[in-house]
Structures are given as C-alpha cells and as structure tokens.
Amino acid sequence: MSLDIPVQYVKGVGPKRATLFGRLGVETLRDLLYFAPKRYEDRSNLSPINSLESDTYQTVFCQVVDVKEERVRKNLTLIKARVRDDTGEAIAIWFNQTYLKNILKRGVKLYLYGNISRKYGRIEIQNPDYEIADGDETIHTGRIIPVYSLTEGLSEKIVRNIIWNTLNNYLEELEEFLPEEILEKYGFPDIKRAIWGIHFPDDEVTLRKSRERLTFEEFFILQLIILRRRMSLLKEYAPVIKVSRNLEKRFLESLPFELTNAQKRVIEDIKRDLASGKSMQRLLQGDVGSGKTVVAAFFLYAVASNGYQGAIMAPTEILAQQHYDRIGPLLSNLGIESALLIGSTKEKEREEIKLGLSQGKIPVIIGTHALIQEDIEFKNLVGIVIDEQHRFGVMQRMALRNKGASPHFLVMSATPIPRTLALTLYGDLDISVIDELPRGRLPVATYWASGEQRAQVYNMVRKLVKNGQQAYIVCPLIEESDKLEAESAVKLAKEMQEEVFPEFRVGLLHGKMGINEKEEVMNRFRNGDIDILVSTTVIEVGVDVPNATIMVIENAERFGLSQLHQLRGRVGRGSLKSYCILISDLTSEDARERIKIMTRTQNGFEIAEADLSLRGPGELNGIRQHGIPEFKVGNIIRDTRILELAREEAILLLKKDPELSSFERLKEMIENSPFTEFLSTG
C-alpha cells in the first residue's frame, strides 16, 4: 500500500476531516504519520487521590462510584461523578456534557486528567480529560501525550485517536531508507520506532531520540538534494571569460576609489570561476554599503569585453535606474555601452532595446523584472547578476537564467544570512563574502527617541542640514495598504515643509508615484536640490546618496529588524559621521528588543541572527512567501548541530556513491521530496 494515498482514505478521516487536515498541511497518509506534535504533556505519573494538591494538573486512575446530573440553570447542567481509588475519593465535574451519564457507569475504570481543587476537605477535578481503561494502553492519559496544532473542527482527542489508529494500522508500511551505518553511528531509532516515538513516546529519552532521527532525516534529504544539484551544476559548461591583466587594470584605474581587500578577494573568486570553463554559480554576500555593485560591474565588464552579453536585474525601478546611472558611465568610459529596461520604459524605446538585445548590439542591459518578459531575447547572454536576490521569487531568477544558454551567474544579497540558513538555502552555490566596509566609514550612531522628543530630533536634523548635509525621514510602515501609506507620506511631507522645516527644501517619495516622478525626486536629492527627503520604505533597497547623513524613522516599532538595518544602510555611506534616530513609543516587549539590538550593533550578521530568533526562519527573507517548503520536524534555529551533521554525512555518502545506486529507497525519498521540486526551479 502506498503511503502517498490522500489522507481522506485513511480510516477515521473521510472527506470532511481531510479538508481540515489539509489546512494543517497534512495531505497524505505519509504526512499524517509525520505530523509532529507541537508539544507534549506528561500525564504519565498517576497520583493517588489522597495526595492531590490544589491548582495542579494531575492524572488519576480511578473507578466510578456513581454519577449525578445537576441542572443548575437553564443553560447549565453539571455531570458529577464520584470516583475513588485505594486512597480516597474525588468528584469529577463536567459542564453540559450530559451524554457522559451514559458512559460513566458505576464500576467503570478510567483515567482522569485535569486541574485539581480542594475545598472544605473535598477534592474536585474540573472538566477533566477522561479515558476509559479498556485495554492495557491509553491514548489521552496515563502517558506522555502529544498535543497537536489544531484547526477548527478538529479536537486534540480526535487527532490523537486518528494518529493512534493510523500508527497501529500503517506503521508497518514504513520502510527504512537511511543507511544502516548512520543509524548505528548516531544510535538513531529506525523509522518505525522514530515515528511511533514522536507521537507516543514512552519517556523523554525516546522522544529526544525520535525527534533527532526525524530531524536528521529531513535535513539529510535536503542536503543530498542540494549537493547533488551542485554536482550537476558544476558539470555545466559556460564560455571561458578571459580577464587579462591589462583589462583588469583599466577597470581598476577607472574607479574613483581603491577596492577594499574583501572586494579584491571576491573579484579573484569571480576571475577563477570565469576562467574555468564551468558555469559560475556564486552568491555574493555583503552587508549594506559594503560595495557589491562595483564587483557586479567588474563581472559585466569582463563578460562584455569578451564579446558576450551581460545583464543585471534589480528589484525596484529606483534601484535599476541608480545602477544605470552609476554602472552605465563607468562601463561607457571603458568603451562598453549599456541600456536600461524597466516597466515604464516607453514602448518605442523598448522595441529598440529588444532588437538590440536579440541582435547582440547591446552588450550590457540593466533592468527590473521587465528583463524576464517572454519576448525579450538575447543573442548570447553569458553573465547574469541578480541584485538583492531575496526580493525575487525563485521563478523570476530562473526565468532570467533561462535566457542564456549556460550562463555565469552571480546573485547578490545584502541580507547577511547566518551560516546555517545559507547551508540550507544556498548550499548549492559557492559563497563569497564582503566582510569589510570601504575605508573611512564611521559607524552610524543610532539612538532611540520617544515621540515627545521629536522637537529635539528635528533640531538635530536642522543642524546637519544647515551644514550642507541631507536627511531622510521615513514614514510609518502601513503594511495593509500602499495607498494609506502614500497618503500618510504626503501628509507628513506637507507638515515637514510647512511647519517644521520651512527654511529647507523638503521632497517626497512613495510607492504610488510614477517612475519618472520618483526618478526626478531621486535625482534632485542626489544632486542636493532636496535637503530632506520624506519617504516610505521605497528607499529601503540599495539607494545610495553618500551626502545623506541622518535618517529619522517614525514609528520604528512597526519595522522588522532586517528592514531597520536595510533602512539604516542608506546613511553612513560616505566619510561623514551619520545618525539614525528611531522614534518609537515602544509599544511591546518585542519592539523594545528590536530597538535595543539596533542601537547596540551595526553588524548585519548579528542582526540577522537576532531577527531569525525573534521572528523565526520563515519570515526572514520572506522565505515562506517564496514558497520554500517548511520543515516538518526540524527547526533550523534550534537544530543547527543536526543540520551540520546531516551535511557532513551527505557529503561522505555522495563521495562513496554519487549516484546513490545502493540506496534505492533513499533515492526515492529524494525524488518525492518537496524540496526537489523547489530547488530544481531555483
């Protein structure tokens, strides 16, 4: 029998409950077996009735003496069962569950679990969970019991019963697929015992071992998928891109600054990849402001100088435009022309660009997802850069990659990803890190201010702007509605211009403006024609104006940590001392924690780690939103050690048997894993 039958056909489920289980992510019989409890309750210790203490939850094993129904008022009927064991008597009380009268007959033996109260020498158990003792095994009491995530229409008792029956009926169908050696090496229980043990463990040790094994298996499969994919990518050929010393020198000499050591190192990595004849698959990580763009420009320059085409895709029009404004002239100086293609590019110009790309007349194209529209074709696209990659869905990245035959691929991320997450999500890529900021950068002095201190904050802005510097004022985030956010931005800008800073030029930028309008505002800000820019989070990604030295963030508590860090990255980009002021009336513990972290550190990695543990991995980088499958048992924050073990073992196994030819069942598990589908498109 297949474990992949729909859960509907599992005994005790049926179509109605199957829909409910679907909401919990349980679609098949296998999912049901792997439906890990969210927590457990230890009801294994049976307490003698005479030892029961008030205000504790206890399990007792007892016998019914008699049952009474008591109608208190119209809508309240009590069922009171007198129960006893060898040590004493207690009263169990249920509200409005009159059917119990027919179940709890005199002499019936049962387990009760509930909150105890002792009143006037009487012992009461209110609304206890009960379980009739008819076999030697109990499901809901008298043991460590599983507690599952529920949805309306499914109770703990129903789910527990279904799982219990499913284990008894189908557990035998599960076949071991982990290598024997691994089970022995780590003392993992086999698959049957582990699945049993995660639902109905006999003790803490069994539970821990079962969880470890299932976590391992989940990570192990994922790592095998990633490593095998990496192996196949490494086999892909791509044109050799030659970078002569002269070519490199020309590039470096055209820059207004010297590269940092970290940037130089990454350029060496890229040169090595390009010379190899194999397709480059590289993730470039570098904190905001670390200077990733110039590295991307080098890559595009190298590709174009070799007669091929290069493309860089950015997530927003503002950012694409900014890249075009910077990379364009840089490459043009070196004799390489480029073009900009974004959603709002005029039709006529778009047609020209389209033609230029397909005929190979445009060597470098800079753009947004406008680049991946179906009718855009390249003559020989060989170099691809995805900037701020976490802003793109997997499909979009893939779509651009598919426009080249076998391209070299550079994805860039300003969200520093903790090592464990990087292994999980990008284990198939080579990783380069820019872990050093350009010389002369000062840390951004970050302060918290309450709403009442606004006047002081504005005075600070005033002082800096008087000195010829520029400021950002970031409006409160309104996640539910771009429209409301835009409106509040308009209002704030008006107030700033008319009431607070009449002597300065205040500009406004929000997501509802057209690109031309946005671009004009950004240009004026860049050229110093705007002193204070009131903006929504549209400036979050990549905007680079080194003369802006102070950022005020209104209602800072509404932003996530990574977002605050990205926003703050807009200042402190030159050699001037910069400030970030977080205005907030600290509404929650969580907000307080985030602001504390922001004022304490500038280190993107530290912030990402903190973000990960405050919000959970799903939300970081919008992982969930990008459709990355969730883990059933494992948790990449808690189970780092197992993740790393799983990776080591996966590497060892693939060394011994790259095709996994002696591990048929394991191969099957890999083929059926949701991660396979996910990664084959990424």
Give the per-residue SS3 of 387-438.
Answer: CCHHHCCHHHHHHHHCCCCCCEEEEEECCCCCHHHHHHHHCCCEEEEECCCC
> Shortest CA distance to 210 belongs to which of 37, 424, 420, 45?
37
Tokens of 112: 């009760």
Judged by CB under 6 A, does residue 297 bind ligand ADP? no
Q: Is residue 414 close enough to count as binding ligand ADP by CB under 6 A?
A: yes
Binding mask 211-250 vs ligand ADP (x if CB under 6 A, - otherwise)?
Answer: ----------------------------------------
Q: Give CA–CA dist 499/288, Å, rounded.
A: 33
In the bound state with Mg ion, the residue whose beta carbon lies nearer, of 414 and 623, is 414
Tokens in use for 403? 């426009």
- Name the binder of 260 from Mg ion, ligand ADP, none, CB < 5-8 A by kind: ligand ADP
Cβ(502)–Cβ(528) under 8 Å? no
Q: Calculate Rg over the CA atoms of the chain.
A: 31
Look at residue 438 and give the partner it binds from Mg ion, ligand ADP, none, a contact being a CB closer than 5 to 8 Å depending on partner kind.
ligand ADP
Residue type, 673: S
Question: Quick one: which of 229, 186, 193 has its CA closest to 642?
Answer: 186
Q: 3-state DSSP call for residue 288?
A: coil
Measured from each CB, the residue nearest to ligand ADP is 291
Distance CA 295, CA 366 (A): 15
Residue nearest to Mg ion (CB): 542
* Residues 566-585 as x/- pattern, contact with ligand ADP by CB under 6 A: -------x------------
535 binds ligand ADP (CB under 6 A): no
Q: Which does 194 bind (CB under 5 to 8 A by kind): ligand ADP, Mg ion, none?
A: none
Closest CB to ligand ADP among residues 206, 285 = 285
Sheet holding 470-474, edge to edge: 445-449, 579-583, 548-553, 470-474, 532-535, 506-509
- Rule CB under 6 A: choose which of 62, 294, 385, 421 binds ligand ADP: 294
Short-list 370, 329, 376, 333, CA closest to 352: 376
CA pair distance 162, 8, nearest whole angstrom: 12
**Strand, helix or coil for residue 544:** coil
Beta strands in 238-354 (DSSP E): 281-286, 309-313, 338-341
Phi then psi dihedrals of residue 416, to 5 deg: -65, 130
Least distance (Å) from Mg ion to the CB of residue 261?
A: 19
Can residue 9 be called a binding residue for ligand ADP (CB under 6 A)?
Answer: no
Which x/- pattern over 247-286 shows residues binding ligand ADP (rule: CB under 6 A)? ----------x-xx--x----------------------x
In the complex with ligand ADP, the residue whose CB is nearer, 281 or 290, is: 290
State the nearest-atom distance from the C-beta of 283 to ligand ADP, in Å.
13
Q: What angle do CA 574, 577, 578 make, to 5 degrees?
A: 85
Q: Which does 289 bind (CB under 5 to 8 A by kind): ligand ADP, Mg ion, none?
A: ligand ADP
Identified binder of ligand ADP from the candidate list 179, 201, 291, 418, rule CB under 6 A: 291
Q: Does 129 bind ligand ADP (CB under 6 A)?
A: no
Pairwise CA distance, residues 586 & 555, whole Å: 9
Binding of Mg ion by 404 (CB under 5 A)? no
Least separation, in Å, of the C-beta of 287 and ligand ADP? 7
522 binds, among Mg ion, ligand ADP, none (CB under 5 to 8 A by kind): none
Q: Which amino acid is at 638?
A: R
Cα angle value 656/657/660 (rounded, 5°):
150
CB of 410 to ligand ADP, least distance (A): 13
**What is the size of the binding site for ligand ADP (CB under 6 A)?**
18
Under rule CB under 5 A, residue 542 binds Mg ion: yes
Amino acid identity for residue 594 in this structure: R
| Per-residue exposure over 126-153, b if at least 16 CB sit within 10 Å of its own CB, e if not | eebbbbebeeeebbbbbbbbbebeeeee
CB of 661 to ligand ADP, least distance (A): 44
Our finding on whether 146 is near ligand ADP (CB under 6 A) is: no
- Among positions 146, 189, 289, 476, the unique one binding ligand ADP when judged by CB under 6 A: 289
CA dist 162 and 446 (Å) reads: 54
Identify what 259 binds: ligand ADP, Mg ion, none; CB under 5 to 8 Å per kind: ligand ADP
Q: In whole angstroms, what is the distance from residue 149 CA to residue 127 CA?
A: 21
* Closer residue to ligand ADP in complex, CB, 129/540: 540
Indicate which of ligand ADP, Mg ion, none lies near residue 546 (CB less than 5 to 8 Å, by partner kind): ligand ADP
Does residue 140 bind ligand ADP (CB under 6 A)?
no
Residue closer to ligand ADP by CB (options 519, 639) is 519
Residue ranges in contact with ligand ADP by CB under 6 A: 257, 259-260, 263, 286, 288-294, 414, 438, 542, 544, 546, 573
Residue ranges in contact with Mg ion by CB under 5 A: 542
